[in-house]
Amino acid sequence: MTKKSKGGKEDKKAIETKSKSVSGKSQKQKKPVEKEVEKEVKEEEELIQESGTDSDYDGDSLSGSLNSDDFNSDIFESEDDVTQGGTEEEDGGDGESSQDELLVHEGSIDNEDGDDGSEQIDSDNNEEEDGSDEGSDRDEAVEESDSSEDEVAPRNTVGDVPLKWYEDEKHIGYDITGKKITKKERQDKLDSFLASMDDSKNWRKIIDDYNDEEVELTKEESKMVRRLLKGKAPHADFDPYADYVDWFKWTDAIHPLSSAPEPKRRFIPSIWEAKKVVKLVRGIRMGLIKVAKPEEEPEEGPVPYLLWEPASTSDQKNKNLTYIPPPKLKLPGHEESYNPSLEYIPTEEEKASYELMFEEDRPKLIPTRFTSLRSIPAYGNALKESFERCLDLYLCPRIRKKRINIDPESLKPKLPSRKDLRPYPNSCYLEYKGHTGAVTSISTDSSGQWIASGSTDGSVRIWEVETGRCLKVWQFDEAIKFVAWNPLSSLPVLAIAMGRDLFFLNTELGNDEEQEVIKEMFHSGNIPEPEASVAAIVTWLQDELYGGIKIRHFKNISSIDWHRKGDYLSTVMASGETRGVVLHQLSKKKTQRLPFKIRGLPVCTLFHPSLSYIFVATRKDVRVYNLLKTGLATKKLETGMREISSMAIHPGGDNLIVGSKEGKMCWFDMDLSSKPYKTLKNHPKDITNVAVHRSYPLFASCSEDSTAYVFHGKVYNDLNQNPLIVPLEILRGHSIKGGVLDCKFHPRQPWLFTAGADSIIKLYCH
Amino acid sequence: MDVDGEDVSRRLHVKFVTKLDSPFKVPVNSVAIPSNVTRLGLSSIVNSIIQSDNPEWKTEPFDFLIDGELIRMSLEEFLLAKGISAERTLEIEYIRAVTPRKEEEPSLHDDWVSAVNGSSPRFILTGCYDGLGRVWSSAGSCSHILEGHSGAISSVAVVNSKDAETVTVATASKDRTLRLFKFDADESVDSSTRVTAYKILRGHKASVQSVSAQKSGDMVCSSSWDCTINLWNTNQSTSEGESVPLKKRKGNNQADESQSEGEAVTTLVGHTQCVSSVVWPEHDVIYSASWDHSVRRWDVETGKDSLNLFCGKALNTIDVGGEGSALIAAGGSDPILRVWDPRKPGTSAPVFQFSSHSSWISACKWHRSSWYHLLSASYDGKIMLWDLRTAWPLSIIETHNDKVLSADWWKGENVISGGADSNLRISSGIAIS
């Protein structure tokens, strides 16, 4: 048992005994004492009552003592335990102390001032016990000696440097005057041995290299060394397991020594601060330092809490850059009252209509009336909603998503309604059936009464548009690549391209005079000698089979186009330079090359509808050449497409439509730019052909995905107004396989002919 | 159950009246019938009433009118829709249903039948894509073949059938000419006689699409792809000596008939596209329909158009008839048959639109005696009979298995039609009072 624990226990004991009154003693002492004790207790109670509630502790005792009988009995029982425990504890200690305790208790009662008395005794006890402990004093002495050793002035003159530096020198360090301190002569081994023989204490001598002297260890020091070598504490009397000394006094001191504040007289003003103040004052007076006006202090008094203040104030935002304001809730209205007025209550029909609504559209709260707050049932969705809330928090993205709030409707271009753009082809009523292979090309005659078609089965047919009757069939050996009707109504001649041959066929549809003109042209017999420049490219021949003219080219023909005057025809072959495109003149049966070089392989050509220009499309771009001038292209149109497949020109001549094999279609406004005015990506597969209507503001594209798209494309006379392009209709109907290979508009009606790989030609009417 | 049945179908008191003659008449008594009967139910009721009087009666389909409207739904719904009270005794007029009762055997041609004409009760005139016109005295018996055209015949017209002896007909062809033929309609029909034209009318620059004759038979008009309407004289030798006399037909020693050529008397210019159809219903009024989406009425005297209706669709056919022979019916490049009333002031909107077809309309003809009935033929292979009093077709004739190119009434109760299946078909027994 340590002193401290003892003392502490005693304190506790003192308190306990006090609280539990003296009744405990009644058991130990004899009955005659009891009465006295009772008297004392009463006195004590009185005392306490008189002194009032000095402390919490007193109050407790008061209440305890005033308790009823059963409560007293409780105390007795508990006291028995305590006393027993106490005796047990004190078994190991001296028996006197317990007696002392008892004495103390009595004394305290006698003293009539429990608190003070016990404290005094406690302190006495402590003092006694402190005095009895001598070991602690000795410890202090040891500590002092240690510190004194430190204070001895170092005699070392070398300084804290490695001695190695002086190893080979004759001196070691310097004295105060700067002279070298010479090393002492060391004893040689023999001398030292002899010395050790002579002197029994010689083994204690140690050479101190730093100070260059011999030190003899004292007895204590050698002992210390020995202890250190053993791994013990150097001092024999050091107790590593000393009892813990609790220096703190656990009892409350009521009165502090002094709580007076530091008196002002002890304040020593700083000169420098005073100077600084003077300087500032001078600065303010001179106006060099501007003092901000003191802010108006907010009015005193309770600041109201703004309940409906907007949650996201600026300072809140500034605090945290990624502050996300909570969603604003609608303020509760009358309908959310527990007892709303009748007009908020939905009728039965309304409730029934809510049931029919979708879950999301249904109102969240249906106002209901309750007679009192007590009758409001528990919120039915509480569990579900808290679960969802947890789910929200759990799944809440930690990244702030920058989102621009744009109404998607506003991004849509403002287009006129399709209804206002009528007429346009939309439904198929007529089909022209008869071909046995894919229909590769169609062409309408200028009046719109007939349509010619060429197919891979080698047949060219002429159909009556009105009834769908096949009027004429010409059968060839090769698959037909291209058919084109002469644009002149007075010259009903059909140009047909297949393989390397180009045929001019008499359709025999014109009146008698026209027929004679054609026959004259075809059968005059004398085909003039071709010019040397084109002799290698083409040969004009008389066709025996159908009485037409055949022109054999040196390469396969990919495209043909009639000039608007119906005399010239351009054919395109996959060849570069000047040989890719040649012009045939029907009336003179002559062929000529274009007077300029073409860069790249031409894909198709197109004559300008009113001027002497020709559009030549290569794989990537379109060039415009002036037919009357030799030289470079007057304009180059950059399509930005991979592979051009077809071209069509607006009858005005300023707008060109280009279709590509990647399903894109470009509208060029040549007044605007050499870049496309609009690029439409509409087909998932290759665009096979594009067409523009001669009189209606319509254009169309057809594709291998077996659809044809019809667009409204209005060109304004006003140069400031850009063309208006509106998609109108997707025409389906051809079988999926192979797609639509050609489309042509009826020259006068807003109708579209489409030629399918399913060997059917369809007419879409408005 | 009985009580429920009574409740579900209320009883109506009706009286059946008719303008038909004695075998079709029923006693004018009020009859109680369930209100949910349709036309079929009413027809069987009337049939059973007649049969009770006349045991040899054969069942006959009837159509029923209440206040001049044909019943095309259940009686109850009809009354509800029209707001007619069911309390009083209803007067239901019945007529014989307008539907063909018999299908004559088809008359096969060599090519598509592009034109039929039944304006003469004695014969049927057809035009064919092989360039021949044919005269049929009845189904399957061809009495005359009209030859001479080098192109497909697009339209035929009977010019003059008043004369007992000879009949004059005109044919228009895609070879840009019209030809006039004369033949004796009452000739024996053992073998079809070949007839050549007595007059060739040249002047059109493109295919002639339609021909129509004046009532008097003195003139014909024709419309063509060259956007014009030409008027021609039909008489054999004109006083001014316009005709070019006597042209021997080469390589034909059989018929040495003289052929004269005629030139157009007047040309009506105004249409901007192919004039697809003309009719000449009155002495000096011609109606025309064109692919330029317009219907025009021409005054023959002045040569000017006095009416111009805009339709919005390319038109293929036109006919004038109906009430006061004034309603214009036209069909074209959409499945809607439109009827205009030009007497209606201030509007050019059609008064009736019939849209049961599913493809282009190729022909429409008014019944010659009825004010209400007209037929329409379409590329969907159907011929529909219409009554202005209802929006549903009275009857659909689906005898053709390809496009119907032309159709007409014949002798009042037959529908004749020609189509792309090269057949002339006659549907007979259509009772129109």
Rounded CA-CA distance A122/A9 in Å is: 10
Strand B199-202 and strand B260-262: the pairing is: parallel
Q: Do A469 and B112 touch (CB under 8 A)?
A: yes
Instruction: For residues A699 and A312, give the distance between their C-alpha atoms in angstroms, rounded to a whole number.
Output: 55
Whether the model clears a pTM of 0.80, i.e. scores above it, the answer is: no
User: How high does pLDDT run on average in chain B?
Assistant: 82
pLDDT at A74: 42
**Mean pLDDT in residue range B206-235:** 88
Write out residues 502-561 of A within 8 Å (CB-CB) of B. 511
Contact A311, A326 (CB under 8 A): yes
Inter-chain contact B403–A468, Cβ cutoff 8 Å? Answer: yes
3 state DSSP class of A66 = coil
The stretch A138-149 carries a mean pLDDT of 43
Mutate to test the interface with B, among A426, A449, A467, A746 (most CBs of B within 10 A): A467
Closest residue on chain B to A449 (Cα): B225
**So what's the ipTM on this one?**
0.85
Cβ-Cβ contacts under 8 Å for A685 (sequence gap 6 or more) = A663, A703, A704, A705, A739
pLDDT score recorded for residue A33: 46
- A449: nearest CB among B207, B334, B403: B207
Report d(CA B304, CA A216) in Å as an integer.
156
Nearest Cβ partner of A447 from B206, B333, B334? B206
**Cα–Cα distances in Å, from A330 out to A333, A521, B183?**
8, 88, 95
Chain A residues lying within 8 Å of B273, measured CB to CB: 448, 748
Q: How far is A547 from chain B (nearest CA, A)?
A: 20
Is the C-alpha dihedral spanning A238, A240, A242, A244 positive or negative?
positive
Least confident of A2-6, A239-243, A494-498, A595-599: A2-6
Average pLDDT over residues A307-314: 62
Nearest to B333 among A449, A511, A765 (CB): A765
**B225 contacts on A by Cβ (under 8 Å):** 447, 449
Per-residue model confidence as pLDDT tens digits over B302-332: 888 888 888 888 899 999 988 888 889 998 8
Least confident range of A136-140, A285-289, B144-148: A136-140
Q: Give the model's confidence band at A658: pLDDT under 50 very low, under 70 low, under 90 confident, else very high.
A: very high
Considering only CB atoms, which chain A residues are within 8 Å of B152?
Answer: 469
Element (H, E) at A108: helix A95-111
Give pLDDT, residue A153. Answer: 54
pLDDT tens digits, B345-384? 877 888 889 988 999 999 999 988 888 889 999 999 999 9
Other C-beta atoms lying within 10 Å of the C-beta of residue A272:
8
Task: Test B207 with A468 for CB contact under 8 angstroms.
Answer: no
- Gap from A422 CA to chain B (nearest CA, Å): 10
- What is the model's pLDDT at position A452? 92
Mean pLDDT calculated for residue range A533-544:
78
Task: With CA atoms as reference, report the closest residue to A593 among A553, A653, A649, A635.
Answer: A553
Q: Kindly state the DSSP code that residue A166 receives in the 8-state scheme.
A: G
Contact of A682 with chain B, judged by CB distance below 8 Å, is answered with no
Q: Taking phi first (over 0 means left), then psi (-120 to 50 degrees means alpha), and beta for anything else, what does residue A115 get?
A: alpha
Assign A326 a pLDDT band (cuts: 50, 70, 90): confident
The minimum CA-CA distance between A741 and chain B, rounded to whole Å, is 25
- The 8-class DSSP code of residue B237 comes to S
DSSP label of B244: B
Chain B residues in contact with chain A using a Cβ-Cβ cutoff of 8 Å? 112, 114, 129, 152, 176, 205-207, 225, 273-274, 276, 291-292, 312-314, 316, 333-335, 359-360, 362, 379, 403, 405, 420
pLDDT at A73: 42
Backbone angles phi, psi at B419, to 5 degrees: -150, -170
Q: Write the DSSP assignment of A398-443 as a string of letters.
A: SSPPP-----HHHHS-----GGGG-----EEEEEEE--SS-EEEEE
What is the percent of chain A with per-residue pLDDT over 70, rounded to a whole number? 75
> Looking at the partner chain, which of A423, A469, A511 has a beta carbon nearest the beta carbon of B129?
A469
Count Cβ–Cβ pairs < 8 Å, chain A vs chain B. Answer: 52
Q: Does B67 or B236 have the greater pLDDT score? A: B67
List, as ranges, residues 395-424 from A with C-beta within 8 Å of B: 423
Q: From CA B156, how far away is CA B209, in angstroms rounded?
A: 10
Answer whether B405 sits within 8 Å of A466, measured CB to CB.
no
| Among chain A residues, CA nearest to B332 | A466
Cβ <8 Å between B112 and A467: yes
Q: Is residue A716 scored above 50 in pLDDT?
A: yes
Confidence of residue A320 (pLDDT cuts 50, 70, 90): low
| Mean pLDDT (whole number) for B126-151 | 86
Does position A747 have pLDDT exceeding 70, yes or no? Answer: yes
Q: Across residues A635-650, what is the average pLDDT?
A: 88
Judge contact between B209 and B155, C-beta under 8 A. Answer: yes
Reply yes or no on whether the pLDDT at A634 is more than 90.
no
A372 DSSP assignment: S
In the structure encoding, which two tokens stand for residue B406, read together?
Answer: 């032309």
Asked if the C-beta of A428 comes within 8 angstroms of chain B's C-beta atoms, the answer is no
Q: What are φ and ψ of residue B182, in 5° steps?
A: -125, 135
Distance from CA of A545 to the nearest CA of B (A): 22
Q: Is B211 helix (H, G, I), strand (E, B) or coil?
A: strand
Whether the CA torsion B242, B248, B252, B257 is positive or negative: it is: positive
Q: b/e per residue, B30-58, with b = 16+ CB within 10 A?
A: ebebbbebbbeebbebbbebbeeeeeeee
Name the band, by pLDDT with cuts 50, 70 and 90, for residue B15: confident
Verify whether the Cβ–Cβ distance B420 to A467 is below 8 Å. yes
User: Looking at A40-49, A301-310, B280-289, B376-385, which range is the least confident one?
Assistant: A40-49
Q: If pLDDT is split at 50, 70 and 90, which confidence band does A596 have?
A: confident
Phi, psi (rounded to 5 degrees) for B415:
-115, 125
A466 CB within 8 Å of a chain B CB: yes
Q: CA–CA separation, A43 vs B185, rounded Å?
A: 162
Element (H, E) at A514: helix A512-523
Q: Which of A749, A753, A763 is most worth mutating to test chain B (most B CB atoms within 10 A of its CB)?
A: A749
CB contact under 8 A, A749 and B333: yes
Q: Which residues of A touch B406 (CB under 8 A)?
A: none
What's the mean pLDDT in A538-560? 83
Quick one: closest CA in B to A465, which residue?
Answer: B333
**Residue contact A766–B176, C-beta within 8 A:** no
Distance from CA of B175 to the nearest CA of A (A): 8
- Provide the shortest C-alpha distance from residue A340 to chain B (in Å): 46
Query: Distance (Å) from the C-alpha of residue A480 to the closest C-alpha of chain B?
Result: 27
If you measure CA to CA, which chain A residue comes closest to B275? A449
Residue A157 has pLDDT above 70, yes or no: no
Contact (CB<8Å) A429/B291: no
Question: CA of B128 to nearest chain A CA: how many angstroms apart?
Answer: 13
The predicted-structure confidence for A377-435, as pLDDT tens digits, reads as follows: 888 889 999 999 899 888 877 676 777 788 888 888 788 888 888 889 888 888 898 89
CA–CA separation, B114 vs B146, rounded Å? 14
Q: Give first-to-last CA distance, chain B, whole Å.
A: 43
**CB B205 to CB A511 under 8 A?**
yes
Count helices and strands in chain B by DSSP H and E runs: 3, 36
A685 and B CB contact within 8 Å = no
For the sheet with A664-669, list strands across it: A644-649, A655-660, A664-669, A678-681
CB contact under 8 A, A749 and B359: no
Rounded to the nearest angstrom, the minimum Cα separation between A587 and chain B is 23
Chain A residue at shortest CA distance from B380:
A429
Proportion of chain B above pLDDT 70, given as a percent = 90
Least-confidence region, from A98-107, A539-548, B156-165: A98-107
In the predicted model, what is the mean pLDDT of residues A341-358? 89
